[in-house]
Structure formats: C-alpha cells, structure tokens
C-alpha cells in the first residue's frame, strides 16, 4: 500500500508525537467523528491521550448511510471510546438543499454549531476535526471556512500529517479504517444545481448498498434524475460487466426508480458531480 514504508513510518511517528503533545495541551476535546480514515485515527489518539476527556461525537443525518453509521458505532464501542451520537439538520436548510456549490459549507457549519453546543453542555474545551494536509490542496472542500468561523481545530494539519501518514499510523494501531476507501456524504452524488432531498439521499444510499453487497470497494452512484451514473475503479470494469453482476445491478436500480443505469467509462473519481 505504501512506498518506502520504513522512512515514512519514522517520519510519521514523529508527527504522531507532536499530535499527542498538542492534544494533551487541549485538556478536553469533542472529536468530529465520521467513521472515515482521518477522524477514526484522530479519535483513537485523542482517546489514548485524554481518556474520558476525549468525547468522540458522530453526527447522524440522512446524508450518512445506515451501514456507515453502524460501522462507525461498532468501531467506537470496540475501541472503548467515550462515544456519543448527535443529530444534525443540514438537510432542512434551503441553502444546503439548493446545492449551488456551497453545500459543503452549510453542512459543516451545521456540524460545528451542533458540536459547539455539545461541547458547551458537556464542559468540553475544544472541538477538533480530522482535516489533513492533503485537504489543503482541494479547493472544493469548504469545511475549513465553517470550522474557522466556529473555532474548530484541525490537529492533524497542525502536526503536518498527510493521508499516507494517517494510513501508516492507523495500521500500526490496528485500526480497521487504515485501508478504508475514501467516502463522501451522499449529497455529493447530486450534480451542482440539483436539489438535494431526503428521498433522493435514501435512493442513492440503497443504490450504493447494491454495489457494496456485490463486493465493490470504491464506487459512487451519481444521481441524475431517472438516470444513474455508476463509477467504479477501472480495475473493476471486468467484474461489473459480467452478465450476472450487471444484470443484478440493473434489476435492483430499476426497482429503485432509476430508468437508465449507466457505467461511467472514466471510472471512479472524486468531485465528478461538482
């Protein structure tokens, strides 16, 4: 998975030492936990350093698949974290629904506002989240603006950690998320300008569960009204086009209301509906 693992591991461990000292200095934190690679690693380190003073908080809304919610909850309980679930209501915000290119900002603003309220109610000093150094290169990520407005901290960035660092260190901790594929909320499956609805989110979730059940690991179901545009990795094309697999995908997605089911020949890539 990783290139030159030994030198990278040594450098990564130095960054982890810095991260631990930084978290220790924060006294108590509410970690925005999504179940992904970065937030799971941050949660585990925070728990190690701060114990019960590290509140691992998972935000639940229709934009999170039920299977992801369960996996994240199971991980938190297995690791013995001080774990909590809160509700967020970004999907009720008209600015979020209209999906005009600022959707992520409104989503994260709701998240951090809810976490700030949680922190105040539980006498937690800081809200932290799992943005890493690679995220700074992606102009489509608007969460940092919302985080800054709400005073949330990105400890992984302060430690200079890249995604590769985090995967290496997660593997050393035996976190099952170490090699987890990237995931974005279900609203990212809607092209810019297409209204995001709860019904649409549920439809996309069910469609992606079909692909997951068939053994695909990295995939997206892009929602275009009656048309569903599926992205899988190029290496999975042969599997996808096997008559039995292709037939099962078509049958299941037709039953969800997708009249047309297409395979995107460009393969899986992030941001293709932006």
- At residue 269, the pLDDT reads 86
Of 31-35, 86-90, 98-102, 205-209, the poorest mean pLDDT is in: 98-102
Q: What would the DSSP string read from start to end of 147-199?
A: HHHHT-B-HHHHTT--HHHHHHHHHHTT-TTTTPPP---GGGGSPTTSPP-HH
pLDDT at 274 over 90: no
**Percent over 70 (pLDDT), the chain:** 95
The structure tokens listed for 1 are: 């998975």
Taking the alpha carbons of 181, 206, 261, 248 in that order, is the dihedral positive or negative? positive
Indicate the pLDDT class of residue 143, thresholds 50, 70 and 90.
Answer: confident
The structure tokens listed for 66 are: 């039920």
Query: Which domains are seen in the chain, by residue range?
Result: 5-172 (3.40.50.620), 186-263 (3.30.70)
Mean pLDDT across 23-27: 98
Q: What is the mean pLDDT of the chain?
A: 94
Indicate the pLDDT class of residue 156, thresholds 50, 70 and 90.
Answer: very high
Quickly tell me which residue has 């008559």 as its tokens.
243
| pTM for the full predicted model | 0.91
CA–CA distance, 150 with 113 (Å, rounded to integer): 7
- At residue 142, the pLDDT reads 80
Indicate the pLDDT class of residue 8, thresholds 50, 70 and 90.
Answer: low
Indicate the pLDDT class of residue 7, thresholds 50, 70 and 90.
Answer: low
Mean pLDDT across 169-189: 94
CA–CA distance, 220 with 229 (Å, rounded to integer): 8
CA–CA distance, 257 with 128 (Å, rounded to integer): 40
How large is the angle between the packed helices 37-50 and 5-26, nearest 10 degrees?
60
pLDDT in tens, 75-132: 999 999 999 999 999 999 999 999 998 999 999 999 999 999 999 999 999 999 999 9
């Amino acid at each position: 998975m990783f290139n030159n693992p030994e030198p990278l591991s040594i450098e990564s461990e130095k960054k982890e030492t810095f991260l631990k000292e930084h978290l220790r200095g924060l006294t108590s934190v509410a970690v925005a936990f999504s179940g992904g690679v970065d937030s799971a690693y941050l949660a585990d380190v925070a728990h190690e350093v701060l114990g019960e003073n590290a509140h691992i908080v998972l935000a639940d809304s229709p934009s999170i698949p039920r299977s992801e919610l369960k996996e994240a909850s199971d991980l938190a309980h297995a690791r013995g974290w001080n774990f909590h679930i809160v509700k967020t209501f970004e999907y009720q915000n008209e600015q979020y629904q209209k999906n005009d290119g600022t959707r992520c900002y409104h989503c994260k603003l709701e998240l951090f506002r809810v976490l700030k309220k949680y922190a105040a109610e539980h006498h937690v000093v800081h809200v932290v989240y799992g943005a890493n150094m690679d995220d700074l290169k992606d102009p489509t990520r608007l969460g940092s603006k919302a985080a800054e407005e709400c005073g949330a901290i990105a400890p992984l960035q302060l430690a200079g950690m890249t995604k590769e660092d985090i995967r290496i260190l997660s593997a050393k901790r035996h976190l099952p998320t170490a090699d987890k594929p990237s995931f974005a909320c279900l609203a990212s499956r809607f092209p810019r300008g297409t209204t995001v609805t709860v019904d649409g989110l549920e439809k996309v979730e069910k469609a992606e569960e079909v692909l997951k059940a068939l053994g695909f690991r990295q995939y997206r179901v892009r929602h275009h009204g009656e048309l569903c545009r599926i992205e899988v990795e190029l290496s999975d094309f042969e599997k996808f086009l096997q008559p039995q697999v292709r037939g099962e995908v078509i049958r299941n997605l037709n039953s969800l209301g997708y009249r047309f089911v297409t395979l995107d020949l460009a393969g899986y890539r992030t941001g293709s509906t932006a």
